[in-house]
Chains A and B, each alone.
Chain A
């Protein structure tokens, strides 16, 4: 699947997934399909010709010309507030992709998979968990998802649904947990990461995605727990 030029995309559906994030479904004629974990570039063009471009992870995968994104508002951002608060069904933008061949899960991979998500870092990891759920792959998938509070989890209902079938799920709450939650609230510690992820002996392939500080801490914790750094793949949001 080679990168082509910019493709026109029409917003086919929008729905909120948290109070500050929403899921956008795009119709992209000519989209070549994508692997789980890949991203695309979005280009917005104002009427006077001014343009802004950003990269977003793709929540969907496989063949077809429908592409799903989930966008979290970056305070003081330029593109995400437009996509979360202004864009409506029928609006047009442009996309380029799919991009990235490294932060990708392949159905044929024989090893267990450990997903570690912080906030909206869930998006490319959800694409992998969905692809795994649809696939015949027998490998176990495990997700450690760190969010500020239950209401801040993108795709919460769908993740709970996957957890009932094909996903071993651990929530970590950094600010507020559900009532009676047995775990401490706060940033992930190396011990909590080690307890909620596959041990090195299982030889998992680990994908970590989220804000820089989160990814640094989680990746360091995996290495400290004895995982081969070459088996720990990361995708960091800037800033």
Chain B
């Protein structure tokens, strides 16, 4: 039973069916990360996927951006409660990347330049659910927002969409990543309010 708060409610916003519970709309693009923004020259950038056998698929920037890319229009939801609707991205679908990868493991740890990690079940990355995005609103992705490239998993809270992503490592178990070790939920579905453990 919620506790009524005297005098609150006069400034309410219109409810929006696209907003998960507990979220509010923002029209700017907040920046949240745990440390300084890494800046990675494209000549030094690479992205890799490593499997349980140690086999590693790796792409340089030129190789990566030569892959078939998709335009993605989607809503994004941050665990700190802002949501931004109808954002526009370009990136490579994880389905495309995993065409070259053989694995029997069900979980992924995403690793970022700067040391950030986040764990995601593989099934949350496939079937058109996730991308490695390198453009936002038709422009190269700004370093503050994770450029050169970030993971984009819009159906989960945005801390799963690892900024400055450099690779994925397949893992047998759903071991927690950085924020998951620091109090956030192992999966993070905004519609289920999977915010904290």
A45 touches B5 (CB 8 A): yes
Answer whether A43 and B12 are a contact pair too, CB < 8 Å, given A229-B38, A232-B35, A236-B30. Answer: no
> What is the distance, in angstroms, from B56's C-beta to the closest C-beta of chain A?
24
Q: Secondary structure of the B side of the interface?
A: loop
Assess whether A230 is interfacial by the CB under 8 Å rule. yes
Among the listed B30, B36, B182, which residue makes an inter-chain contact with A219, where contact means beta carbons less than 8 Å apart?
B36
The number of residues on chain A lying at the interface, defined by a beta carbon within 8 Å of a beta carbon of chain B, is: 48
Which A residues are CB-close (under 8 A) to B15?
A: 50
Which B residues are CB-close (under 8 A) to A220?
A: 36-37
Among the listed B3, B31, B36, B178, which residue makes an inter-chain contact with A92, where contact means beta carbons less than 8 Å apart?
B3
Within 8 A of B (CB), among A69-97: 78, 81-82, 86-88, 91-94, 96
B36 touches A238 (CB 8 A): no
| Chain B proximity mask over A24-58: 1 for CB below 8 Å, otherwise 0 | 00000000000000000001111111111111000
A91 touches B6 (CB 8 A): yes
Assess whether A101 is interfacial by the CB under 8 Å rule. yes
12 contacts between A and B (CB under 8 A): A3-B183, A44-B5, A44-B8, A44-B9, A46-B8, A82-B8, A101-B181, A101-B183, A102-B179, A234-B34, A234-B35, A234-B36
A91 touches B5 (CB 8 A): yes
Answer whether A236 and B32 are a contact pair too, CB < 8 Å, given A86-B7, A92-B4. Answer: yes
| Chain B proximity mask over A166-179: 1 for CB below 8 Å, otherwise 0 | 00000000000000
A238 touches B115 (CB 8 A): no
B7 touches A234 (CB 8 A): no
Among the listed B9, B37, B82, B179, which residue makes an inter-chain contact with A46, where contact means beta carbons less than 8 Å apart?
B9
Which A residues are CB-close (under 8 A) to B144?
A: 212, 216
**Alpha-carbon distance A50/B7, docked complex (angstroms):** 12
Which A residues are CB-close (under 8 A) to B183?
A: 3, 99-102
The number of residues on chain B lying at the interface, defined by a beta carbon within 8 Å of a beta carbon of chain A, is: 39
> What is the distance, in angstroms, from A170's C-beta to the closest C-beta of chain B?
20
Residues of A bordering B, CB below 8 Å? 2-3, 6, 8, 43-55, 78, 81-82, 86-88, 91-94, 96, 99-103, 212, 216, 219-220, 222-223, 229-230, 232-234, 236-239
| Chain A proximity mask over B146-181: 1 for CB below 8 Å, otherwise 0 | 000000000000000000000000000000001101
B5 touches A92 (CB 8 A): yes
A52 touches B182 (CB 8 A): no
Which B residues are CB-close (under 8 A) to A232?
A: 35-36
> What is the distance, in angstroms, from B113's C-beta to the closest C-beta of chain A?
10
Residues of B bordering A, CB below 8 Å? 2-9, 11-13, 15, 22, 24, 26, 28, 30-38, 78, 80-82, 114-115, 144, 178-179, 181-183, 196-197
Which B residues are CB-close (under 8 A) to A239?
A: 26, 28, 30, 82
Which B residues are CB-close (under 8 A) to A92?
A: 3-6
> What is the distance, in angstroms, from B163's C-beta to the closest C-beta of chain A?
12
> What is the distance, in angstroms, from B30's C-beta to the closest C-beta of chain A?
3
Which A residues are CB-close (under 8 A) to B33?
A: 234, 236
**Alpha-carbon distance A55/B30, docked complex (angstroms):** 14
Which B residues are CB-close (under 8 A) to A54?
A: 24, 81
Which A residues are CB-close (under 8 A) to B37?
A: 216, 219-220
**Alpha-carbon distance A233/B116, docked complex (angstroms):** 12
